[in-house]
Amino acid sequence: MRFKRHVELEHGLRQIDIAPLIDMVFQLLIFFMLTSSFVMQPGIKVNLPKAVTSDVVKQETIEIIVSSENVTYLNGKVVTLKEIKAIFKLAAKRQQSILIKADRRASLGRVVEIWDMARDLGISQISIATDQ
């Protein structure tokens, strides 16, 4: 009993057809290019003002963000001044510091209002975030 060997591979087909492989790689490339362009970074866009002299804050701070539309955020949620006041009272008891991230186009009055509220409640360590 004699079995047929792979005669087709031995005599007729000497190369492997890579056209389907190229098609699959191309489709994967297109897929990853399209899906990666739709990934959005979460968070609030704030253009910080530039400063030449600035220090790095290394403590655990409470970050208050003031957007260009003068909307105030805490941990990504919109907060009112009454809510900020309650948070500042807790921060004063724990002796935490405050970091204010204000957009360049944010109202100076809103930033000063938050700063003054923190100072009034006994928080002595208040910083304003800047870009170097």
pLDDT number for residue 23: 93
| Residue for token pair 């699959």 | 24
pLDDT at 60 > cutoff 90: no
Could you give the CA distance from residue 50 to residue 95 in angstroms, rounded to a whole number?
28
CATH number for the domain running over 61-128: 3.30.420.270
Higher pLDDT residue, 4 or 24? 24
Q: Is the pLDDT of residue 17 over 70?
A: yes
Q: Output 35 or 79, whichever has higher pLDDT.
A: 79
CA 88/CA 124 separation, integer angstroms: 11
Write down the mean pLDDT value for the chain: 80
In the chain, % of residues over pLDDT 90:
11
Mean pLDDT of 18-23: 90
Question: What pTM was estimated for this model as a whole?
Answer: 0.59
